[in-house]
Structure 1
Amino acid sequence: MLDVLIKGAAVVDGTGRPAFTADVGISGGVIVELGQVTTPAARVIEADGALVTPGFIDIHTHYDGQVSWDAEMLPSANHGVTTAIMGNCGVGFAPARSRDRGTLIALMEGVEDIPGTALHEGITWEWETMGEYIDAIDRIPRTMDIGVQVPHNPLRLYVMGERAVRREAATPDDIAAMQALLSEALEAGALGFTTADTVGHRDAHGNPTYARQVAASELYALGDAMGRAGKGVIQIFNDFYRENAGDFPTIAELARRSGRPLSFTYEQDDAWPEGFHEYVTGEMDALNAAGISIRAQVAPRAIGGIHSLQGTINPFMTRPSYMAIMHLPHAERVAIMRDPAFKAQLMTEPDRPISDFVMSVSPRVEEWGADPIRMAQRTFCLDTVPDYEQSLEASLYGQSQATGRSVPDLLYDQLLTQDGTGQVFVPIMNWGGGNYDFVHDTLTNPWAIMGLSDGGAHVGYICDGSFPTYLLSHWTRDRTRGPRISIERAVQLQTTAPAEHMGLHDRGRIAPGYRADINVIDHAALAIGRPTLRTDLPAGGTRFVQSATGYLATLVAGEVVTANDTLTGARPGRVVRGAQGRAA
């Protein structure tokens, strides 16, 4: 007797091979039969031609604090994610001495736009070491499996204290201590090590992160420790194409010396020099051909911000009239802003300087004043069905040219639509040339893996936890402004590809012996909703979430955790401790 039988599925198995029709039999949380299955089952799911895919593996999330209070793991649980990996970009909450808790919260608040009040209220702090952190969060059953990585900033702070905050160079003793802690964490089940060196990452006080511009020798030493342990992956978010031009060789050398799989954030920046993309992809080809495993974490759409009266950022937030009312409840602000006299006054006012915190959350917000035409050309209204690949004519610039109204006037009125919940989307990265040519190129690159959703982070400004659904709907069905990709490739990018990279060889594929982490999807109905604000964080904190439709069922280890786009209350998820062996 099977536990679950999925009948009549269009199986997209995750490997990239063409879809095929089959039944899927599940027992003990594992796929045991695939084909024409006649074994009876306790539960039968009639797929009727719906897609059956492996559960999605999101390797780039920031649920590090949220996992200590949240069992549902929204928004990722709404989008077919069955394994979420945290600790990215060098930020997290372990290891952590009690004296450093506030410092780490301020760091996460600034870098990832997660309310500090919610983190102070919600994090249980039942740990000091990474091993204790893993044990603590593993005591909470949840909707999906989670994995943790060792973030560079907490590691540095734990060893160096205030010297890390001052960004002093690590001594040989410091490096030896960090190596030992990293090795212990890998033995305890951490999946890897992460770091970041980017001008946009600052704490809530505007200070650079503690791992900013560390010596390459420090990174190499930590990579050496991983090489000796023979465990773990490395994740890097680096401005190697801006002020650190030439740092890509450092990344490559880290991968070579450590012998560990490495992934780096790869998102198009307008500041790229000509030929840079070709240089990077050529280097990836050469490195992988030489046996050095290096992957690009890519996104299926522009990385950008939601400007609204509800979230963290809007283009009028530094004007004196708005600053005078920004502390008021949303409904009161909206009522005041509907007064024509208030609007007329605000429109005459100059923008004030942007705070360091706002710059950390949105490094492009200052360009509203510095280059308003360029910003207007990349600002788009988000309606009930959000469109993230609109034409220049649909931008606020295009609307202004067509109607004769000013861009600020159009923008102001858009924010007041839908009872003051109107939104505009401003692409920051992946929007060179005003199109997705670069995105298409990366999605079809053999060394690409899906990443960058930042699930759990940027809760008042960015809502990219919907990436899995967007990739599978927009890029395989809805896109009109360029070529699409196959359903098989879209599934591979977020199943087999990340599973193989992370060493999670027990999942990411529909085949006998693999974990029954599975999505049953009505592809024709698959869609994302408009970002909506929820007040459900600790201490009354707010966050944007984005719903999805079209998920008939999501299974984790054979248990149905969502049915018809609704959570069932099942909690089979646990912490993934270290690399997992291949299916028998």
Structure 2
Amino acid sequence: MAHDLVIRGGLLVDGIGGEPTPGDLAVDGDKITAVGEVANEGRREIDARGHLVTPGFVDIHTHLDAQVSWDPLLTPISWHGVTSALIGNCGVTFAPVRPGDSKLLAGMMETVEDIPRELILDQMSWKWEGYGSYLDSLEALNPAINLGGLVGHCAVRFYVMGERAVDGQPSDAEAGAMADVVGQAIADGAIGFSTSRIRGHVMPDGRDVPGTHAKPEELLRIAEAVVANGGGLMQNVLNLSGDFDGEMALIRKLAEATGDRVLFSLTGGRGDASGDRLNGLIDEMGEGGLDVNAVAIPRGSGFIMGLCNILPWRGVAWRKLKKMDFTARLKALDDVGFCQELIDDAKAKPANFQLTDLFPLGVDKPVYDFEPDDSLAAVADRRDEHPAETFLRMSRESRGRALFTFRMFNPNTRALADLISGEHVFPGLGDAGAHVGQIMDSGWCSYVLSHWTRDKGLFSVGEAVRRMTSAPARIMGVGDRGRLVVGLRADLNVIDFEKVAERMPEFVYDFPGGHGRFIQRADGYRATICNGEVILENDEHTGARGGRILRNQH
């Protein structure tokens, strides 16, 4: 009897750490039905000779909560082998919501995650109040890949406390009501609960988002409700730069209270030993039986800028340039007199960014492996130019395609390599769907395969795939995905390992209303399959949308 799909002659990577093994894989309906040697033909076959066959990748830190309403293909991550994504991170979600409060949640999402408020209000249906009906609305969108959601502290606090949620502390009754709301969300399918304690996440009026200053007792009461309703993930963005010891102690308390998975976001420091130090703290909790894990961007990252979006200097001439569209900006670079005005302004006023941390990203192929001598300041010094001259020259010579990265995160590559090699630290934190006009890290899976695995050898193929499949699937709580095992869901990738790579980020205007964003496509993906549907073939979407809403598997 013929199978629906047979992936023939590939190098099977099981997702649990095993290295590539020659074999076939069969799919019937939405499940894997044979692994190894498949004798029967498939109604459709994919020739995978010389290619890796892996489980679909799992991205546990995205903000695609709004974008799915107008981009059900969920780009860019669906170009990079991701078949399951977790939304609702950092405490900012769209449910629960009382009638009339949608503007509050939309405004908060805009200031925290740089997602345009008008798109959130105009493109989303807002036909829900509780979290369960919110998940139902997502299901009706028929996304290309699977989505699971966390219920966010900010929305829960607003729902219970109203305006007092921002600055106040809850009464005992309010704390109990918040715990009840979260417990019901878990019962209705939320993967877990998320909160933000970082001071950079603010409301439109500049105040810290609700929950930033919540006392541990409030979070522990919520954690008890999560446990009482079957358990779930507790996701945190911590104020590590403000009270490192206190925040790590809170993580420990949450893990002890739930006996379940706790996740937080992490980046490496400037010192060579910072990665090992952070791993040591997390490993110590693991050795004590606590299920604490972290997710980290696997490269130096920060704002992307260039002629297409952010400009590094200020002054009269730079303000003039900022007001121009891209075509006019490009034309202005050919005006020698105007360029001199820009250079003079840059010499007179400090740059908006530290130029020793601003790095040329490239023109045709992105380069993320930065050393201090690669900075814009260092390049300018070697050419005896002012950095503004170098920026303008590179922009002019590339006809505006040159991009630059202001490295805010992971400034030390050696420390980063140590960090993401830790037993409980996993690559990710791409923030897909957020900061769309400023940052582009959604292709992190392709970077792990190309840079850290193929080029640097930090990971073996089997270990790299494990860290992007079964490991994050376990953290997310979706046990029927992330491994090449008969009976599990057919979320799969067929990858040309020698070619897999990120393409150069592009600034496009493809959101409704002409809103712009960065995208980043990929090379090397022969096919991506989600629940048995081939959603991508030869790096291009097929139009199929095989995703499902992943609800808490109590």
The normalised TM-score by structure 2 is: 0.95
State, as a whole percentage, how many aligned pairs show the same letter.
Answer: 33
Matches within 5 A, 1:28-427: 28-165=29-166, 167-270=167-270, 277-311=275-309, 313-316=310-313, 318-349=314-345, 368=351, 372=354, 375-427=355-407
The equivalent of 1:538 in structure 2 is: 512
Q: Distance in 1 between matches of 2:163 and 2:91?
A: 17
SS of residue matched to 2:17: coil
The correspondence for 1:523, drawn from 497, 501, 504, is 497
Q: Distance in 1 between matches of 2:478 and 2:326?
A: 45
Q: Distance in 2 between matches of 1:352 and 1:532?
A: 31
Q: Distance in 1 between matches of 2:111 and 2:178?
A: 24
Could you tell me how far 1:422 is from its partner in structure 2? 2.5
Q: What stretches of structure 2 of length at least 5 have no aligned partner?
A: none
* Matched pairs, number: 553
Deviations 1:375-408 (A, max 9, x none): 3254223221101003333321221232111112
Could you tell me how far 1:347 is from its partner in structure 2? 3.0
Alpha carbons 1:430, 1:439 under 8 Å: kept: yes
Could you tell me how far 1:558 is from its partner in structure 2? 1.2
SS of residue matched to 1:385: coil
SS of residue matched to 1:32: strand
Could you tell me how far 1:48 is from its partner in structure 2? 0.8
| Change beyond 3 A, Cα 1:455–1:255 | same
| Change beyond 3 A, Cα 1:553–1:414 | same
Q: Say whether 1:431 aligns with 2:381.
A: no
SS of residue matched to 1:579: coil
Letter in 2 for 1:555: I
The correspondence for 2:524, drawn from 541, 550, 558, is 550
Q: CA RMSD in A?
A: 2.1
Q: Say whether 1:446 aligns with 2:413.
A: no
SS of residue matched to 2:168: coil
SS of residue matched to 1:525: coil
Q: Distance in 1 between matches of 2:176 and 2:316?
A: 51
SS of residue matched to 1:524: coil
Deviates more, 1:130-139 or 1:109-118: 109-118
Q: Distance in 2 between matches of 1:277 and 1:24?
A: 38
The equivalent of 1:495 in structure 2 is: 469
Could you tell me how far 1:351 is from its partner in structure 2? 10
Alpha carbons 1:518, 1:555 under 8 Å: kept: yes
Deviates more, 1:4-13 or 1:203-212: 203-212
Q: Distance in 1 between matches of 2:405 and 2:229?
A: 44
| Change beyond 3 A, Cα 1:106–1:320 | farther
Q: Distance in 1 between matches of 2:22 and 2:264?
A: 36
Alpha carbons 2:279, 2:419 under 8 Å: kept: no
SS of residue matched to 1:469: helix
Deviations 1:253-288 (A, max 9, x none): 111112220011110244x8x976544322322222
The equivalent of 1:574 in structure 2 is: 548
Q: Distance in 1 between matches of 2:146 and 2:481?
A: 11
Alpha carbons 1:62, 1:86 under 8 Å: kept: yes
The equivalent of 1:359 in structure 2 is: none
The equivalent of 2:22 in structure 1 is: 21
Deviates more, 1:33-42 or 1:513-522: 33-42
Letter in 1 for 2:547: G
Q: Distance in 1 between matches of 2:531 and 2:155?
A: 32
| Change beyond 3 A, Cα 1:478–1:276 | closer
Letter in 1 for 2:75: L
| Change beyond 3 A, Cα 1:307–1:352 | farther
| Change beyond 3 A, Cα 1:111–1:488 | same
Could you tell me how far 1:325 is from its partner in structure 2? 4.6
Alpha carbons 1:60, 1:84 under 8 Å: kept: yes
Letter in 2 for 1:203: M
Could you tell me how far 1:74 is from its partner in structure 2? 0.6
Q: Distance in 2 between matches of 1:332 and 1:513?
A: 57
SS of residue matched to 2:549: coil
Could you tell me how far 1:471 is from its partner in structure 2? 0.8
Q: Distance in 1 between matches of 2:388 and 2:325?
A: 23
Q: Distance in 2 between matches of 1:305 and 1:253?
A: 34
Could you tell me how far 1:205 is from its partner in structure 2? 4.1
Could you tell me how far 1:350 is from its partner in structure 2? 6.8
Q: Distance in 1 between matches of 2:386 and 2:399?
A: 22
The normalised TM-score by structure 1 is: 0.90
Q: What stretches of structure 1 of length at least 5 have no aligned partner?
A: 354-366
